[in-house]
Each structure stands twice: as C-alpha cells, then as structure tokens.
Chains A and B, each alone.
Chain A
Amino acid sequence: MSILVNKDTRLVVQGITGKTGTFHTQQCVEYGTNVVAGVTPGKGGQLWEGTVPVCNTVQEAVKQHGANVSVIYVPPAFAADSILEAIDAEIPLVICITEGVPVRDMAEVRQRLNLKGNQTRLIGPNCPGIITPGECKIGIMPGYIHKPGRVGVVSRSGTLTYEAVWQLTQRGHGQSTCIGIGGDPINGTSQLDAVRLLNEDPDTDAIIMIGEIGGSAEEEACAYIKEHVKKPVAGFIAGASAPKGRTMGHAGAIVSASGAGTAEAKFAAMEAAGVSIARNPSEIADALLKIYQAS
C-alpha cells in the first residue's frame, strides 16, 4: 500500500465542471483513479460526463459519496476558500493544483492547518499533484512516463519532475509515489514533510528530492535526512544560473538580494547530509542509481 494515494482512494474534484477540471479529471479517470464526486457550487445534482455526481459542497461529497481525497482546480481568487472548505469537511488529503493563489491567502490557510485538531494534509498550491503509478493519478502529470516501483520522488517543480521520472522509468526503475509539493513560498507540505512520509513508507526504498532556489525548504529537509534517513537519497537544485533578486517563474523561486536561498547553499546542505547530488538535470536518475540498485 503506497502513501497518500492508492487504489482505495475516493477522489472528489473541486471545480470539476470547469475546462481545466474536466480535462484533467478525464485523464485521471482513464488512468484508473476512482473519482466518486465533483463539487461545483450551484450545479449540485448534475452528472459530470454522464457518470460522476456533482455536489454543491464538499460536505455533501464526503457524506453522500465517501470522498476521502480532494483535488482542487479552482481559479486563484477562490482556491483558498475551496481549501478551507475541504479542511472543514475533514478531508484527510487535499491537493490544490491552482497557480497564482495570493500569498496572503495561503498564510491564512497555513494558520488554519496549524490549528490543533486539524485532520487535513494539504499538498500545494501551484503543484502538479500526486501519483502512485499503476494505482492512482491525481493531478496534471502525464501518466505514461511513470511505472510502478520503489523510488519515491518529491519536487517543487512539475515538468522538471517529469524529466527525472522519465529518466528513472527508462532505466527500469519505477516509482512508489511522486509528490509534487509545488512552487509557492507558502504551501501545505514541505520538502521535509514529504521526505519524512517517503522515509516512513515501507513501499519506498530510495528517495529523489528536486528543489529550487528560494527559501530554506531543502536545507530543512537535509537536516532531517542527516539525522533520520538511512534510505539512499539523491537530489538536484534548479536555478544555479539564475540572477539574484528576480522571481524565476515560481513565486517561491527567488534568491533574496541578501543572498539567502541560493542553489550553492542547498547543494552544500545536500552534501552535508550525504545526499547524492546531480549537478546536471539530465543526471538526476544517475545520481540515485550510483548509490542504489533495486533488489
């Protein structure tokens, strides 16, 4: 049984009737994900694509259809509200794909998540989603590049993750679960959180961590890896060639003017933690396979 999502996942799609929600839900259903309901306020009672019941609220989706994971394809203006609704409905895992959510909104969501008694793990926002290959795909990643296996992958990026996953798959090494934590500065699950999950997962034997410039998420994860992780870990940091003070696409990818959050600092933290480092994005799988061979 793989962490977070698997064949027993019962998915509710918030924003299912929108263009993005519809396209990606179709792709996930084709992959084999069990979509039990959708939520679009005002369209409750309808059937999406003639098959999936649409509800007005997340509560309904939980009560009437037993949803236990939610994915959110809601525009930035309303995404935080959708997350908060799912948290209140006590959905254990919420994945927010939306890019462009105001940072202040996420600060408020984070404060809500930090409250005692919170039942929800949030992944994202601005993330590609989670996939347990062969069992359950939630998000926008192309299914075909993945294959079932025992390497766990965590990343802030979307397409850079696909790059690494494709390298692994082509070398014959499948993935246990790939977690896209997203590129925003304030999010639900950090590199450290995801590495910990993969470390504690009996179906994961090795870990790849893909980071970016900005913030200290990778440094914190490396401190954890140094103390607690015996499984082989490989890593890559994108943005070594980026100039200081500019936000490189992802809201969280910025080396501050004072020099905090550089690629060098993160590579150094990886080195200190014994992580096998890919200095080149085309060598991410190689960096792992140097220290890990599937039995």
Chain B
Amino acid sequence: MSHLNASIMNIHEYQAKQLLSDYGVPVPSGYPAQSKAEVEAALAQLPDDAIVVKAQIHAGGRGKGTFTDGYKGGVKVTSGRAEAAEIAEKMLGNTLVTQQTGPQGRKVQTLYFTEACDIEHEYYLAMVLDRESSQAVIIASTEGGMDIEAVAEATPEKIVRVPVSPTLGLRPYHCREVGFALGFKGDQLKQLSRILGGLYKLFWEKHAMLVEINPLITTPTGSIQALDAKVSFDANALFLHEDIAALRDLNEEDAKEVEASKYNLSYIALDGNIACMVNGAGLAMATMDIIQSFGGSPANFLDVGGGANEEQVTAAFKIILSDPNVKGILVNIFGGIMKCDVIARGIVAAAQNVELRVPLVVRLEGTNVEAGKQILTESTVALTPADSLANAAQIIVEQVS
C-alpha cells in the first residue's frame, strides 16, 4: 500500500462513529450520503423528527464554518426529513471554510444524518498515546462540547488524565477514577466503564493515535452516547490494518501529496515560491528554514528519503514543477544512504522529461559526491551548482526575486 505522507491518518466522523459502534460505544443512529439518491435513502431510515445534518470533512469547527457561497454552518439541526433534504442540497458539493481548513476551505463530498438527542450534559472523553510517558492516557472533562484546549487553559482542574500502561492494559480502577471525576455513579458508572473498555480496545487494537469523543453526552433518561467522534491512526501501522487503510479519503488530501505518496516521497505543500528537494526530514526542515532566513518563501517540504531511486527523483521533480507558484528550485542532498551520483542522474533525467522553466540550484555533498558533481557538469541541464547550504539558499533566493 502506498506510503502515507503524514504519520497520522485521519478519518471522517461517520467512519469514526461506525468504528466506535463496532466496539460497543453507543452512538445515535446515523447514515452517510454522497449523492442526492443516497440522501433520500439515508433520510428514509431516520424518523421524520429532529434530524442533524453534518458536513463530513477532516477538520473541526464545522458548526461555526461558512460555505464559500455564503451559506452559514456545516452542522444543522432540522425539524424533519424535508428540511434535512433542503439543507443537504445546499451543503453537498459545496466548499466549507472553518477555522481549521484554511481560507480555501474543503469540498464537502459526504453528509451524515443522525437523529438529534436530548442532552442533559456534555462531557469530553479521549484517549491519546502520550509520547513522554509512552503510555495511553485517558483525558476526560465535565466541560464537553467546547474547545478542550481552551478548557485546559482556563480551568485545568476540570480535566482529569489517567495513564494506562500498555503492559497492564485498561483496568476497572482506571474506569472508576474517570467516572468519579466526571461525577458518575451507579448505572452510569457501569455504562462509562463499558464505553472506556470499547474505546481502549479500538485504540490499542487498531494502532490509533487519538480517539476523541466531544461531546460525550448524557440524556435525560440516563443513557450515555457519543455525539461526535474523531479518530486518527498511526500511518506506520496501516500495513497491519487493511480495514482502516480502506477508510482513507484521498479527496481530503492535497493532490500533489497523494501523488508523492505513490512514490514513497514525503511531500507537504506550502504557500511559497521556492521549492526544495532534500534527503532527510531534519535537513529538509532546515533547508526550508534557511530559505526563509534569507528572505525567501518555501513552496514545500519534500524528503526524498534514504533510498530514493531515479524514478522517485523524477517523480519528485514533476510534482514540484506542477505547482504553479514555484519560481525556483533548490536541491540539497547530503548523501549517506542516498548516493550523489544517483540523485544527479535523477535530476538530469527529470529535467529532460519535464521542461525546466525555472532556476535550479543544486547542492550535493556526501557519498559519491565527485561522481555526482561530474554528472551534473557534463549534462546539458541549466543549473547552478552550490558548495554550501548557505551559498545555495542565497543564490536561489536572489534568482527568484
């Protein structure tokens, strides 16, 4: 399976809710839809009563967001099927801008319809893998339905954190600690324990990085439900979980990043006009940093990795050159596993396959550097060689401005 660019894979709310439900966490009935016909079919399965219409994108803040045509709100509570269908038409295929999408927004290709619940109280419940302690941590709060970071700042005492050691797993006393902190007792404490059990099982079995329910609600009749769900996974573990890998939505990812991942390249699109191609994530970040420090603006992060072959380097070049913002390219290779003659051949091949219409600065150092430099010198490719990183950054910034 193709290598995912980011180390974290996100899924949609409707997919997260399905997973939670599979693991025994109560969620309100809900149905996704990606076309008018599917909208009709979904609504037919819900009672003609209060129905919530939710735009599905991999970003939060949907309720407060605005569509690019002016329509406000990506989450709407309606009085029934007719109103829900009307609203669905306004949302489906429209582009939603929220605080987390950036100004260009995200196209809404899926809607989720659920029955509205009466809410007695909203809580926050999540499980994360804590890198500092290398344990799973349950995070819970009585202040649900709002930005948990804001709660952490304003009233940190209202957040409880219970670590769970991977060797021992989730135990009843962990559940009690969370439950009592949230003010639960009796049957609700039991319900919460079951929910935590399901959460932990999903989290651990499927190599999740985050399982977040915000809000987790109690209803007036005393049941507990997950009203919203966010689950993300360790991309490095997807080879173990075909079912999770199948949930990936390429429409939520930048097309260039998806293309890059097909070649096992690590690529992130940015806003600037100086593209870089570097081997090694640390050096790639540092290359972006130094471009910025000389007054330039990086167009991307691109790590060709330690084993990049000619095909990958060619692909990297094509992806870079497909970005209309790119006014110059800096190639910075320090060869360890990566051999300078391989990258040089890749540069020459790529430049010959794609019309090189922008300045190219190449800085090589490391394994087989002399062979690499020779290949570049002897080729007919229009490029400027540089000896040091500072030199390279300075030249490309000058050539682009």
The B358-393 residues at the A interface (CB cut-off 8 A) are: 365-367, 388-390, 393
In the complex, which residue of chain B has the Cβ closest to the Cβ of A211?
Answer: B282
Closest chain A CB from B106 CB (angstroms): 14
Residues of A within 8 A of B303 (CB): 249
Is B78's CB within 8 Å of the partner chain A? no
B87-95, B231-239, B349-357: which lies at the A interface? B231-239
Contact of B282 among A142, A159, A243 (CB under 8 A): A159
Residues of B within 8 A of A249 (CB): 266, 280-282, 284-285, 301, 303
Given contacts A159-B280, A252-B131, A282-B390, contact A107 B166 (CB under 8 A): yes
Residues of A within 8 A of B129 (CB): 103-104, 107
Residues of A within 8 A of B286 (CB): 157, 160, 163, 236, 238-239, 281
Residues of A within 8 A of B367 (CB): 142
Residues of A within 8 A of B281 (CB): 157, 183, 212, 248-250, 253
In the complex, which residue of chain B has the Cβ closest to the Cβ of A259?
Answer: B149
Are the C-beta atoms of B134 and A111 separated by less than 8 Å? Answer: yes
Per-residue interface assignment for chain A, residues 116 to 133, with 1 indicating a CB less than 8 Å from any chain B CB and 0 otherwise: 000000000000100000
Given contacts A247-B7, A282-B389, contact A159 B336 (CB under 8 A): yes
Residues of B within 8 A of A157 (CB): 280-283, 286
Are the C-beta atoms of A163 and B301 separated by less than 8 Å? Answer: no
Closest chain A CB from B300 CB (angstroms): 11
The B4-35 residues at the A interface (CB cut-off 8 A) are: 6-8
Contact of A250 among B165, B282, B307 (CB under 8 A): B282
Closest chain A CB from B201 CB (angstroms): 13
Are the C-beta atoms of B290 and A142 separated by less than 8 Å? Answer: no
Per-residue interface assignment for chain A, residues 156 to 173, with 1 indicating a CB less than 8 Å from any chain B CB and 0 otherwise: 111111110010000000
Are the C-beta atoms of B289 and A238 separated by less than 8 Å? Answer: yes
Closest chain A CB from B339 CB (angstroms): 10
Contact of A160 among B240, B266, B283 (CB under 8 A): B283
Residues of B within 8 A of A155 (CB): 282
Per-residue interface assignment for chain A, residues 20 to 46, with 1 indicating a CB less than 8 Å from any chain B CB and 0 otherwise: 100110000000000000000000000
Is B298's CB within 8 Å of the partner chain A? yes
Is A273's CB within 8 Å of the partner chain B? no
In the complex, which residue of chain B has the Cβ closest to the Cβ of A263?
Answer: B289
The B271-303 residues at the A interface (CB cut-off 8 A) are: 278-293, 298, 301, 303
In the complex, which residue of chain B has the Cβ closest to the Cβ of A284?
Answer: B286
The A192-220 residues at the B interface (CB cut-off 8 A) are: 210, 212-213, 215-216
Are the C-beta atoms of B290 and A281 separated by less than 8 Å? Answer: yes
| Total interface residues in chain B, CB < 8 Å | 59
Is A18's CB within 8 Å of the partner chain B? no
Residues of B within 8 A of A104 (CB): 129, 166, 204, 207, 234, 237
In Å, the complex CA distance between A158 and B165 comes to 31
Residues of B within 8 A of A247 (CB): 6-8
Is B263's CB within 8 Å of the partner chain A? no
Residues of B within 8 A of A7 (CB): none
Is B135's CB within 8 Å of the partner chain A? yes
Given contacts A160-B283, A250-B282, contact A242 B288 (CB under 8 A): yes
Residues of A within 8 A of B284 (CB): 248-249
The A93-138 residues at the B interface (CB cut-off 8 A) are: 99-108, 110-111, 128
Is A223's CB within 8 Å of the partner chain B? no
Are the C-beta atoms of A248 and B236 separated by less than 8 Å? Answer: no
Given contacts A140-B336, A281-B290, A282-B389, contact A215 B365 (CB under 8 A): no
In Å, the complex CA distance between A251 and B237 comes to 12
Are the C-beta atoms of B283 and A142 separated by less than 8 Å? Answer: no
Interface centre among A76, A103, A105, A161 (most CB of B within 10 A): A103
Residues of A within 8 A of B268 (CB): 243, 246, 248
Contact of B166 among A20, A111, A128, A215 (CB under 8 A): A111
Is A241's CB within 8 Å of the partner chain B? yes
In Å, the complex CA distance between A98 and B176 comes to 40
4 additional A-B pairs beyond A213-B285, A249-B285, beta carbons within 8 Å, are A20-B307, A102-B237, A250-B282, A257-B100
List 11 A–B pairs whose Cβ atoms lie within 8 Å, in order of A's numbering. Answer: A101-B236, A111-B165, A155-B282, A158-B282, A159-B336, A241-B289, A241-B292, A249-B280, A251-B7, A258-B149, A282-B389
Q: Which 9 A-B pairs have the closest CB atoms?
A: A157-B282, A249-B281, A159-B280, A160-B282, A282-B390, A281-B286, A110-B134, A102-B237, A159-B283
